[in-house]
Protein backbone atom coordinates (compact mmCIF):
# COMPACT_ATOMS: atom_id res chain seq x y z
CA UNK A 1 0.00 0.00 0.00
CA UNK A 2 1.36 3.49 -0.85
CA UNK A 3 1.31 6.37 1.68
CA UNK A 4 -2.17 7.34 0.51
CA UNK A 5 -3.39 3.89 1.30
CA UNK A 6 -3.85 2.97 -2.35
CA UNK A 7 -3.62 -0.44 -3.85
CA UNK A 8 -3.63 -0.60 -7.61
CA UNK A 9 -4.19 -4.15 -8.63
CA UNK A 10 -4.90 -5.60 -12.02
CA UNK A 11 -8.12 -7.49 -12.65
CA UNK A 12 -9.22 -10.37 -14.79
CA UNK A 13 -11.43 -7.95 -16.74
CA UNK A 14 -8.58 -5.48 -17.16
CA UNK A 15 -10.76 -2.73 -15.63
CA UNK A 16 -8.35 -0.44 -13.83
CA UNK A 17 -9.83 3.01 -13.98
CA UNK A 18 -12.44 2.93 -11.17
CA UNK A 19 -11.05 3.96 -7.80
CA UNK A 20 -12.88 3.07 -4.56
CA UNK A 21 -12.28 4.76 -1.23
CA UNK A 22 -13.16 2.42 1.65
CA UNK A 23 -13.76 4.07 5.01
CA UNK A 24 -14.13 1.91 8.13
CA UNK A 25 -12.66 2.07 11.62
CA UNK A 26 -12.52 -1.72 11.87
CA UNK A 27 -9.28 -2.97 10.28
CA UNK A 28 -10.80 -6.39 9.56
CA UNK A 29 -13.66 -4.86 7.58
CA UNK A 30 -11.23 -2.62 5.72
CA UNK A 31 -9.04 -5.55 4.77
CA UNK A 32 -11.92 -7.75 3.68
CA UNK A 33 -13.53 -5.02 1.59
CA UNK A 34 -10.26 -4.01 0.00
CA UNK A 35 -9.60 -7.59 -0.97
CA UNK A 36 -12.99 -7.84 -2.64
CA UNK A 37 -12.60 -4.54 -4.48
CA UNK A 38 -9.14 -5.40 -5.68
CA UNK A 39 -10.47 -8.71 -6.90
CA UNK A 40 -13.05 -6.78 -8.93
CA UNK A 41 -10.23 -4.88 -10.57
CA UNK A 42 -10.71 -1.57 -8.79
CA UNK A 43 -8.00 0.63 -7.47
CA UNK A 44 -8.57 1.05 -3.73
CA UNK A 45 -7.89 3.66 -1.10
CA UNK A 46 -8.56 3.04 2.57
CA UNK A 47 -9.18 5.34 5.53
CA UNK A 48 -9.83 4.45 9.18
CA UNK A 49 -11.42 7.79 10.15
CA UNK A 50 -13.77 10.37 8.69
CA UNK A 51 -11.08 13.06 8.74
CA UNK A 52 -8.65 10.87 6.81
CA UNK A 53 -11.43 9.98 4.36
CA UNK A 54 -12.05 13.68 3.60
CA UNK A 55 -8.33 14.29 2.99
CA UNK A 56 -8.08 11.35 0.64
CA UNK A 57 -11.30 12.10 -1.19
CA UNK A 58 -10.19 15.66 -1.94
CA UNK A 59 -6.79 14.46 -3.07
CA UNK A 60 -7.57 11.42 -5.18
CA UNK A 61 -11.17 12.10 -6.13
CA UNK A 62 -12.32 8.46 -6.09
CA UNK A 63 -15.15 7.17 -8.28
CA UNK A 64 -17.07 5.83 -5.27
CA UNK A 65 -16.84 5.85 -1.47
CA UNK A 66 -17.88 2.97 0.77
CA UNK A 67 -18.53 4.72 4.06
CA UNK A 68 -19.02 3.18 7.49
CA UNK A 69 -21.39 5.16 9.72
CA UNK A 70 -20.34 4.37 13.26
CA UNK A 71 -16.79 5.56 13.72
CA UNK A 72 -15.00 7.31 16.58
CA UNK A 73 -14.60 11.08 16.07
CA UNK A 74 -16.27 12.19 12.83
CA UNK A 75 -18.93 9.58 12.03
CA UNK A 76 -20.07 8.52 8.56
CA UNK A 77 -23.02 10.94 8.41
CA UNK A 78 -20.81 13.88 9.34
CA UNK A 79 -18.18 12.77 6.85
CA UNK A 80 -20.82 12.53 4.14
CA UNK A 81 -22.11 16.01 4.98
CA UNK A 82 -18.60 17.41 4.49
CA UNK A 83 -18.14 15.49 1.25
CA UNK A 84 -21.39 16.84 -0.16
CA UNK A 85 -20.64 20.41 0.81
CA UNK A 86 -17.28 20.54 -0.95
CA UNK A 87 -17.31 21.21 -4.73
CA UNK A 88 -14.46 18.76 -5.38
CA UNK A 89 -16.16 15.84 -3.65
CA UNK A 90 -19.88 16.58 -3.80
CA UNK A 91 -20.51 14.49 -6.91
CA UNK A 92 -18.71 11.35 -5.71
CA UNK A 93 -21.32 8.64 -5.05
CA UNK A 94 -21.36 7.49 -1.42
CA UNK A 95 -22.61 4.07 -0.24
CA UNK A 96 -23.19 3.81 3.49
CA UNK A 97 -22.39 0.55 5.29
CA UNK A 98 -23.82 0.06 8.75
CA UNK A 99 -25.22 -2.38 11.24
CA UNK A 100 -27.82 0.31 11.97
CA UNK A 101 -30.45 -0.65 9.47
CA UNK A 102 -33.46 1.04 11.04
CA UNK A 103 -35.51 3.17 8.66
CA UNK A 104 -34.52 6.34 10.42
CA UNK A 105 -30.83 5.76 9.75
CA UNK A 106 -31.39 4.58 6.21
CA UNK A 107 -33.56 7.61 5.43
CA UNK A 108 -31.01 9.93 7.08
CA UNK A 109 -28.32 8.36 4.90
CA UNK A 110 -30.26 8.96 1.67
CA UNK A 111 -31.20 12.45 2.83
CA UNK A 112 -27.51 13.24 3.12
CA UNK A 113 -27.10 12.37 -0.55
CA UNK A 114 -25.95 8.75 -0.37
CA UNK A 115 -26.76 6.61 -3.40
CA UNK A 116 -27.13 3.36 -1.46
CA UNK A 117 -27.18 1.89 2.03
CA UNK A 118 -25.82 -1.59 2.78
CA UNK A 119 -26.58 -3.41 6.03
CA UNK A 120 -23.87 -5.11 8.08
CA UNK A 121 -22.76 -7.83 8.35
CA UNK A 122 -21.71 -7.37 4.77
CA UNK A 123 -22.48 -9.98 2.16
CA UNK A 124 -19.55 -9.39 -0.16
CA UNK A 125 -21.25 -10.52 -3.39
CA UNK A 126 -24.04 -8.04 -2.71
CA UNK A 127 -21.55 -5.26 -1.94
CA UNK A 128 -19.75 -5.95 -5.21
CA UNK A 129 -23.03 -5.91 -7.17
CA UNK A 130 -24.11 -2.62 -5.60
CA UNK A 131 -20.70 -1.03 -6.21
CA UNK A 132 -20.74 -2.22 -9.81
CA UNK A 133 -24.26 -0.83 -10.38
CA UNK A 134 -23.46 2.53 -8.85
CA UNK A 135 -20.23 2.88 -10.81
CA UNK A 136 -22.13 2.12 -14.01
CA UNK A 137 -24.90 4.60 -13.21
CA UNK A 138 -22.42 7.26 -12.21
CA UNK A 139 -20.41 6.73 -15.39
CA UNK A 140 -23.59 7.06 -17.47
CA UNK A 141 -24.79 10.17 -15.72
CA UNK A 142 -21.30 11.68 -15.87
CA UNK A 143 -21.27 11.08 -19.63
CA UNK A 144 -24.73 12.58 -19.98
CA UNK A 145 -23.74 15.51 -17.85
CA UNK A 146 -20.61 16.04 -19.89
CA UNK A 147 -22.59 15.92 -23.12
CA UNK A 148 -25.19 18.30 -21.75
CA UNK A 149 -22.44 20.68 -20.62
CA UNK A 150 -20.77 20.49 -24.01
CA UNK A 151 -24.06 21.24 -25.77
CA UNK A 152 -24.82 24.06 -23.38
CA UNK A 153 -21.39 25.60 -24.00
CA UNK A 154 -21.92 25.41 -27.76
CA UNK A 155 -25.40 26.93 -27.55
CA UNK A 156 -24.21 29.66 -25.18
CA UNK A 157 -21.22 30.63 -27.30
CA UNK A 158 -22.43 30.16 -30.86
CA UNK A 159 -22.55 33.31 -32.98
CA UNK A 160 -25.96 32.46 -34.40
CA UNK A 161 -29.04 33.22 -32.41
CA UNK A 162 -30.96 30.08 -31.53
CA UNK A 163 -34.58 29.89 -30.52
CA UNK A 164 -36.93 27.01 -29.90
CA UNK A 165 -40.53 27.72 -30.81
CA UNK A 166 -43.62 25.68 -30.03
CA UNK A 167 -46.21 24.95 -32.71
CA UNK A 168 -48.52 27.61 -31.24
CA UNK A 169 -45.81 30.25 -31.70
CA UNK A 170 -44.70 30.39 -28.06
CA UNK A 171 -40.95 30.86 -27.68
CA UNK A 172 -39.61 28.17 -25.38
CA UNK A 173 -35.90 28.97 -25.33
CA UNK A 174 -33.41 31.49 -26.68
CA UNK A 175 -29.62 31.45 -26.47
CA UNK A 176 -27.50 34.49 -25.46
CA UNK A 177 -26.70 35.39 -29.10
CA UNK A 178 -30.43 35.57 -29.87
CA UNK A 179 -31.07 37.70 -26.76
CA UNK A 180 -28.18 39.94 -27.76
CA UNK A 181 -29.30 40.35 -31.35
CA UNK A 182 -32.76 41.38 -30.26
CA UNK A 183 -31.78 43.41 -27.19
CA UNK A 184 -33.37 41.16 -24.55
CA UNK A 185 -31.98 39.94 -21.23
CA UNK A 186 -31.58 36.23 -20.41
CA UNK A 187 -34.94 34.40 -20.25
CA UNK A 188 -36.85 37.55 -21.23
CA UNK A 189 -37.94 36.11 -24.56
CA UNK A 190 -38.97 32.70 -23.25
CA UNK A 191 -42.76 32.58 -22.98
CA UNK A 192 -43.35 35.36 -25.50
CA UNK A 193 -45.05 34.83 -28.83
CA UNK A 194 -43.14 34.83 -32.11
CA UNK A 195 -45.72 37.30 -33.38
CA UNK A 196 -44.24 39.87 -30.96
CA UNK A 197 -41.07 39.86 -33.02
CA UNK A 198 -42.22 39.60 -36.62
CA UNK A 199 -44.38 41.66 -38.94
CA UNK A 200 -47.97 40.31 -38.76
CA UNK A 201 -47.94 38.93 -42.32
CA UNK A 202 -44.66 37.06 -41.79
CA UNK A 203 -45.74 35.79 -38.35
CA UNK A 204 -48.98 34.51 -39.88
CA UNK A 205 -47.07 32.66 -42.57
CA UNK A 206 -44.85 30.95 -39.98
CA UNK A 207 -47.79 30.06 -37.78
CA UNK A 208 -49.52 28.44 -40.76
CA UNK A 209 -46.36 26.41 -41.41
CA UNK A 210 -46.18 25.42 -37.71
CA UNK A 211 -49.83 24.32 -37.77
CA UNK A 212 -49.30 22.22 -40.91
CA UNK A 213 -46.36 20.45 -39.30
CA UNK A 214 -48.12 19.96 -35.98
CA UNK A 215 -51.03 18.31 -37.81
CA UNK A 216 -48.75 16.01 -39.82
CA UNK A 217 -45.30 15.77 -38.24
CA UNK A 218 -44.18 13.03 -40.67
CA UNK A 219 -44.56 15.40 -43.62
CA UNK A 220 -42.37 18.01 -41.97
CA UNK A 221 -39.69 19.69 -43.96
CA UNK A 222 -37.36 22.56 -43.23
CA UNK A 223 -38.81 25.97 -43.93
CA UNK A 224 -35.40 26.92 -45.33
CA UNK A 225 -33.63 30.20 -44.82
CA UNK A 226 -35.28 33.53 -45.48
CA UNK A 227 -34.56 37.12 -44.76
CA UNK A 228 -36.84 38.55 -42.11
CA UNK A 229 -37.11 41.85 -40.36
CA UNK A 230 -37.34 41.31 -36.62
CA UNK A 231 -38.40 43.88 -34.07
CA UNK A 232 -35.59 44.72 -31.68
CA UNK A 233 -36.64 45.31 -28.08
CA UNK A 234 -35.83 49.01 -28.57
CA UNK A 235 -38.34 49.08 -31.44
CA UNK A 236 -35.97 49.35 -34.37
CA UNK A 237 -36.15 46.71 -37.12
CA UNK A 238 -33.15 44.39 -37.55
CA UNK A 239 -32.47 42.30 -40.63
CA UNK A 240 -31.83 38.61 -40.03
CA UNK A 241 -31.57 35.40 -41.96
CA UNK A 242 -33.92 32.94 -40.22
CA UNK A 243 -33.57 29.19 -40.79
CA UNK A 244 -36.38 27.11 -39.36
CA UNK A 245 -36.13 23.36 -38.88
CA UNK A 246 -38.91 21.21 -37.42
CA UNK A 247 -38.20 18.55 -34.82
CA UNK A 248 -40.27 16.37 -32.56
CA UNK A 249 -39.29 16.35 -28.87
CA UNK A 250 -42.36 15.01 -27.05
CA UNK A 251 -44.18 17.75 -29.01
CA UNK A 252 -43.68 19.45 -32.37
CA UNK A 253 -41.01 22.12 -32.01
CA UNK A 254 -39.15 24.41 -34.35
CA UNK A 255 -35.50 25.28 -34.11
CA UNK A 256 -34.87 28.78 -35.41
CA UNK A 257 -31.35 29.90 -36.30
CA UNK A 258 -30.85 33.64 -36.58
CA UNK A 259 -27.96 35.09 -38.50
CA UNK A 260 -27.44 38.83 -38.28
CA UNK A 261 -27.18 40.32 -41.76
CA UNK A 262 -27.51 43.96 -40.75
CA UNK A 263 -23.93 44.61 -41.90
CA UNK A 264 -24.53 43.06 -45.33
CA UNK A 265 -27.76 44.97 -45.52
CA UNK A 266 -26.02 48.22 -44.69
CA UNK A 267 -23.40 47.72 -47.41
CA UNK A 268 -26.14 46.65 -49.83
CA UNK A 269 -28.05 49.83 -49.00
CA UNK A 270 -24.84 51.86 -49.34
CA UNK A 271 -24.28 50.33 -52.79
CA UNK A 272 -27.85 51.09 -53.80
CA UNK A 273 -27.47 54.64 -52.55
CA UNK A 274 -24.15 55.01 -54.37
CA UNK A 275 -25.84 53.93 -57.59
CA UNK A 276 -28.19 56.92 -57.26
CA UNK A 277 -25.65 59.57 -56.35
CA UNK A 278 -23.25 61.50 -58.55
CA UNK A 279 -19.78 60.71 -57.25
CA UNK A 280 -18.29 64.16 -57.84
CA UNK A 281 -21.01 66.36 -56.41
CA UNK A 282 -22.81 63.93 -54.09
CA UNK A 283 -26.22 65.04 -55.31
CA UNK A 284 -28.57 62.77 -57.29
CA UNK A 285 -27.33 61.44 -60.61
CA UNK A 286 -29.13 61.34 -63.94
CA UNK A 287 -30.54 57.82 -63.43
CA UNK A 288 -32.05 58.75 -60.10
CA UNK A 289 -33.47 61.95 -61.52
CA UNK A 290 -35.08 60.23 -64.52
CA UNK A 291 -36.81 57.70 -62.26
CA UNK A 292 -37.88 60.42 -59.86
CA UNK A 293 -39.25 62.57 -62.66
CA UNK A 294 -41.23 59.63 -64.05
CA UNK A 295 -42.81 58.96 -60.66
CA UNK A 296 -43.57 62.61 -59.94
CA UNK A 297 -45.06 62.92 -63.40
CA UNK A 298 -47.46 60.05 -62.72
CA UNK A 299 -48.32 61.52 -59.36
CA UNK A 300 -49.02 64.89 -60.93
CA UNK A 301 -51.27 63.22 -63.54
CA UNK A 302 -53.38 61.88 -60.67
CA UNK A 303 -53.32 65.05 -58.57
CA UNK A 304 -53.59 67.55 -61.44
CA UNK A 305 -50.90 69.67 -59.78
CA UNK A 306 -48.34 71.55 -61.89
CA UNK A 307 -44.80 70.18 -62.22
CA UNK A 308 -41.83 72.49 -62.80
CA UNK A 309 -38.41 71.61 -64.14
CA UNK A 310 -35.30 73.75 -63.92
CA UNK A 311 -32.34 73.07 -66.23
CA UNK A 312 -29.11 74.87 -65.32
CA UNK A 313 -25.84 75.10 -67.18
CA UNK A 314 -22.61 76.72 -65.97
CA UNK A 315 -21.57 79.56 -68.26
CA UNK A 316 -18.29 79.34 -70.16
CA UNK A 317 -17.25 76.34 -68.21
CA UNK A 318 -14.82 75.12 -70.86
CA UNK A 319 -13.04 78.44 -70.47
CA UNK A 320 -13.05 78.03 -66.71
CA UNK A 321 -11.39 74.62 -67.02
CA UNK A 322 -8.92 75.91 -69.56
CA UNK A 323 -8.00 78.85 -67.35
CA UNK A 324 -7.92 77.33 -63.88
CA UNK A 325 -7.52 73.62 -64.62
CA UNK A 326 -9.83 70.61 -64.51
CA UNK A 327 -9.39 70.08 -60.73
CA UNK A 328 -10.59 73.63 -60.03
CA UNK A 329 -13.45 72.91 -62.45
CA UNK A 330 -14.43 69.90 -60.33
CA UNK A 331 -14.46 71.98 -57.15
CA UNK A 332 -16.54 74.62 -58.91
CA UNK A 333 -19.10 71.98 -59.95
CA UNK A 334 -19.27 70.78 -56.34
CA UNK A 335 -19.97 74.31 -55.11
CA UNK A 336 -22.64 74.91 -57.73
CA UNK A 337 -24.25 71.56 -56.85
CA UNK A 338 -24.28 72.50 -53.19
CA UNK A 339 -25.94 75.83 -53.95
CA UNK A 340 -28.51 74.05 -56.09
CA UNK A 341 -29.20 71.42 -53.44
CA UNK A 342 -29.94 74.16 -50.93
CA UNK A 343 -33.03 75.03 -52.97
CA UNK A 344 -34.47 71.50 -53.04
CA UNK A 345 -36.20 71.81 -49.71
CA UNK A 346 -39.32 69.67 -49.98
CA UNK A 347 -39.48 65.87 -50.07
CA UNK A 348 -40.77 66.17 -53.62
CA UNK A 349 -37.94 68.47 -54.80
CA UNK A 350 -34.88 66.86 -56.32
CA UNK A 351 -31.63 68.43 -57.49
CA UNK A 352 -29.39 66.35 -59.75
CA UNK A 353 -26.30 66.57 -61.87
CA UNK A 354 -27.54 65.63 -65.29
CA UNK A 355 -24.15 65.41 -66.95
CA UNK A 356 -21.00 67.51 -67.36
CA UNK A 357 -21.76 71.02 -66.16
CA UNK A 358 -25.53 70.64 -66.57
CA UNK A 359 -27.82 70.38 -63.55
CA UNK A 360 -31.56 69.90 -63.14
CA UNK A 361 -34.06 70.53 -60.38
CA UNK A 362 -37.58 69.22 -60.17
CA UNK A 363 -40.27 71.06 -58.20
CA UNK A 364 -43.51 69.15 -57.76
CA UNK A 365 -46.77 70.99 -57.09
CA UNK A 366 -45.12 74.21 -58.18
CA UNK A 367 -46.63 76.56 -60.75
CA UNK A 368 -44.76 78.62 -63.32
CA UNK A 369 -44.57 81.79 -61.25
CA UNK A 370 -43.21 80.04 -58.18
CA UNK A 371 -40.77 78.06 -60.34
CA UNK A 372 -39.51 81.25 -62.02
CA UNK A 373 -38.89 82.78 -58.58
CA UNK A 374 -37.05 79.67 -57.42
CA UNK A 375 -34.95 79.60 -60.58
CA UNK A 376 -34.02 83.23 -60.14
CA UNK A 377 -33.07 82.57 -56.50
CA UNK A 378 -30.77 79.79 -57.64
CA UNK A 379 -29.16 81.96 -60.29
CA UNK A 380 -28.57 84.74 -57.76
CA UNK A 381 -27.24 82.26 -55.21
CA UNK A 382 -24.56 80.99 -57.61
CA UNK A 383 -23.58 84.53 -58.55
CA UNK A 384 -23.22 85.58 -54.93
CA UNK A 385 -20.82 82.68 -54.32
CA UNK A 386 -18.37 84.88 -56.26
CA UNK A 387 -16.35 82.00 -57.56
CA UNK A 388 -13.74 83.81 -59.69
CA UNK A 389 -13.96 83.15 -63.44
CA UNK A 390 -11.18 85.48 -64.63
CA UNK A 391 -11.70 85.07 -68.39
CA UNK A 392 -15.50 84.91 -68.55
CA UNK A 393 -16.95 87.46 -70.98
CA UNK A 394 -20.15 87.46 -68.92
CA UNK A 395 -18.98 88.20 -65.37
CA UNK A 396 -15.86 88.06 -63.19
CA UNK A 397 -17.63 85.30 -61.28
CA UNK A 398 -19.08 81.95 -62.14
CA UNK A 399 -22.63 82.37 -63.47
CA UNK A 400 -25.32 80.02 -64.66
CA UNK A 401 -27.97 80.09 -67.37
CA UNK A 402 -31.31 78.61 -66.37
CA UNK A 403 -34.31 77.38 -68.30
CA UNK A 404 -37.52 76.63 -66.48
CA UNK A 405 -40.65 74.89 -67.75
CA UNK A 406 -43.94 74.08 -66.05
CA UNK A 407 -46.63 71.61 -67.08
CA UNK A 408 -49.83 70.21 -65.68
CA UNK A 409 -49.36 66.61 -66.77
CA UNK A 410 -52.39 64.96 -68.35
CA UNK A 411 -53.06 61.30 -69.00
CA UNK A 412 -53.28 61.67 -72.78
CA UNK A 413 -49.84 63.27 -72.82
CA UNK A 414 -48.24 60.05 -71.60
CA UNK A 415 -47.12 57.37 -73.94
CA UNK A 416 -44.16 55.53 -75.31
CA UNK A 417 -41.69 57.77 -77.13
CA UNK A 418 -43.06 60.72 -75.29
CA UNK A 419 -41.44 63.34 -77.46
CA UNK A 420 -44.83 64.92 -77.90
CA UNK A 421 -45.86 64.65 -74.23
CA UNK A 422 -44.87 63.19 -70.89
CA UNK A 423 -41.71 64.04 -68.96
CA UNK A 424 -39.69 64.37 -72.16
CA UNK A 425 -41.80 67.32 -73.27
CA UNK A 426 -41.13 69.07 -69.99
CA UNK A 427 -37.46 68.35 -70.38
CA UNK A 428 -37.24 69.60 -73.94
CA UNK A 429 -39.07 72.77 -72.98
CA UNK A 430 -36.83 73.54 -69.99
CA UNK A 431 -33.69 72.66 -71.98
CA UNK A 432 -34.70 74.92 -74.82
CA UNK A 433 -35.48 77.70 -72.41
CA UNK A 434 -32.00 77.26 -70.94
CA UNK A 435 -30.48 77.64 -74.41
CA UNK A 436 -32.61 80.72 -74.85
CA UNK A 437 -31.04 82.06 -71.64
CA UNK A 438 -27.58 81.31 -73.01
CA UNK A 439 -28.37 83.08 -76.24
CA UNK A 440 -29.97 85.93 -74.37
CA UNK A 441 -26.60 86.76 -72.79
CA UNK A 442 -26.19 84.04 -70.09
CA UNK A 443 -26.49 84.58 -66.32
CA UNK A 444 -30.27 84.69 -66.61
CA UNK A 445 -33.46 82.69 -66.30
CA UNK A 446 -35.80 81.92 -69.20
CA UNK A 447 -39.17 80.31 -68.74
CA UNK A 448 -41.22 78.19 -71.15
CA UNK A 449 -44.91 77.38 -70.68
CA UNK A 450 -45.34 74.20 -72.69
CA UNK A 451 -48.66 72.40 -73.06
CA UNK A 452 -48.60 68.88 -74.37
CA UNK A 453 -46.86 70.03 -77.51
CA UNK A 454 -43.61 71.15 -75.98
CA UNK A 455 -42.02 72.07 -79.26
CA UNK A 456 -44.85 74.45 -80.09
CA UNK A 457 -44.58 76.05 -76.69
CA UNK A 458 -40.85 76.44 -77.05
CA UNK A 459 -41.32 77.89 -80.49
CA UNK A 460 -43.64 80.45 -78.95
CA UNK A 461 -41.14 81.32 -76.24
CA UNK A 462 -38.29 81.46 -78.72
CA UNK A 463 -40.28 83.62 -81.09
CA UNK A 464 -41.04 86.08 -78.32
CA UNK A 465 -37.34 86.26 -77.48
CA UNK A 466 -36.40 86.71 -81.09
CA UNK A 467 -34.67 83.34 -81.33
CA UNK A 468 -35.15 80.19 -83.37
CA UNK A 469 -36.96 77.13 -82.06
CA UNK A 470 -33.65 75.28 -81.63
CA UNK A 471 -32.64 78.03 -79.23
CA UNK A 472 -30.15 79.72 -81.50
CA UNK A 473 -30.38 83.44 -82.24
Please report, as ranges, the residues that interact with ligand GTP according to CB under 6 A: 280, 313-319, 321, 326, 329-330, 333, 356-357, 438, 442
The dihedral sign for the CA sequence 389, 392, 396, 402? negative
Helix axes 27-39, 124-157, angle to 10 degrees: 70
**Residue 364 Cβ vs ligand GTP, minimum distance, rounded to whole Å:** 27
Residue nearest to ligand GTP (CB): 329
| C-beta closer to ligand GTP: residue 97 or 314 | 314
Question: Among residues 467, 432, 313, 448, which one has the least CA distance to residue 372?
Answer: 448
**Residue 188 in contact with residue 171, Cβ under 8 Å?**
no
Rounded to whole angstroms, the Cα distance separating 21 from 135 reads: 13
**Residue 339 Cβ vs ligand GTP, minimum distance, rounded to whole Å:** 16
**Residue 261 Cβ vs ligand GTP, minimum distance, rounded to whole Å:** 36
**Residue 408 in contact with residue 365, Cβ under 8 Å?**
no
**Residue 391 Cβ vs ligand GTP, minimum distance, rounded to whole Å:** 11
| C-beta closer to ligand GTP: residue 42 or 320 | 320
| C-beta closer to ligand GTP: residue 148 or 280 | 280
**Residue 50 in contact with residue 19, Cβ under 8 Å?**
no
**Residue 428 Cβ vs ligand GTP, minimum distance, rounded to whole Å:** 18
Chain-centre distance of CA 86, in angstroms? 43
Residue 274, CB half-sphere, CA atoms under 13 Å: how many? 6
**Residue 383 Cβ vs ligand GTP, minimum distance, rounded to whole Å:** 14
| C-beta closer to ligand GTP: residue 130 or 316 | 316
| C-beta closer to ligand GTP: residue 24 or 357 | 357
Rounded to whole angstroms, the Cα distance separating 120 from 35 reads: 17
Q: In what order do the strands lie in the sheet with 445-448?
A: 349-355, 358-364, 307-314, 400-407, 445-448
Rounded to whole angstroms, the Cα distance separating 378 from 391 reads: 23
**Residue 326 Cβ vs ligand GTP, minimum distance, rounded to whole Å:** 4
| C-beta closer to ligand GTP: residue 123 or 472 | 472
| C-beta closer to ligand GTP: residue 23 or 375 | 375
**Residue 182 Cβ vs ligand GTP, minimum distance, rounded to whole Å:** 46
How far from 12 is each of 33, 40, 356, 393, CA to CA, in Å? 18, 8, 95, 113
| C-beta closer to ligand GTP: residue 122 or 319 | 319
Rounded to whole angstroms, the Cα distance separating 454 from 452 reads: 6
**Residue 22 in contact with residue 33, Cβ under 8 Å?**
yes
**Residue 394 Cβ vs ligand GTP, minimum distance, rounded to whole Å:** 8
| Burial zone of 156 (CB within 10 Å; 0-12 exposed, 13-18 middle, 19+ buried) | exposed
| C-beta closer to ligand GTP: residue 50 or 329 | 329
Amino acid sequence: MDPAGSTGVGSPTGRRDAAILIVDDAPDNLAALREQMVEQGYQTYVAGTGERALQLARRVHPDLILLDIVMPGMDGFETCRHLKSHPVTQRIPVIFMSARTGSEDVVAGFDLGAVDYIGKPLRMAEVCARVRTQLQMHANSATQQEQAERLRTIVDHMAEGLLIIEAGGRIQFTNPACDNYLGYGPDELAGRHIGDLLAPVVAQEYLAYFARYAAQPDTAHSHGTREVTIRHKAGKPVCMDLTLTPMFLRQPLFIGLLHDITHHKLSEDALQRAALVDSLTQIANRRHFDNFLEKEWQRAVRSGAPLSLVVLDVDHFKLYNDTLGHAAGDVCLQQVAQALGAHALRMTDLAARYGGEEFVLLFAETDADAAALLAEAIRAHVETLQLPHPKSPTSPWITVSIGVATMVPRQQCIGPGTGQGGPDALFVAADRAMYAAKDGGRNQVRAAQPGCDAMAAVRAVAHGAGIAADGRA
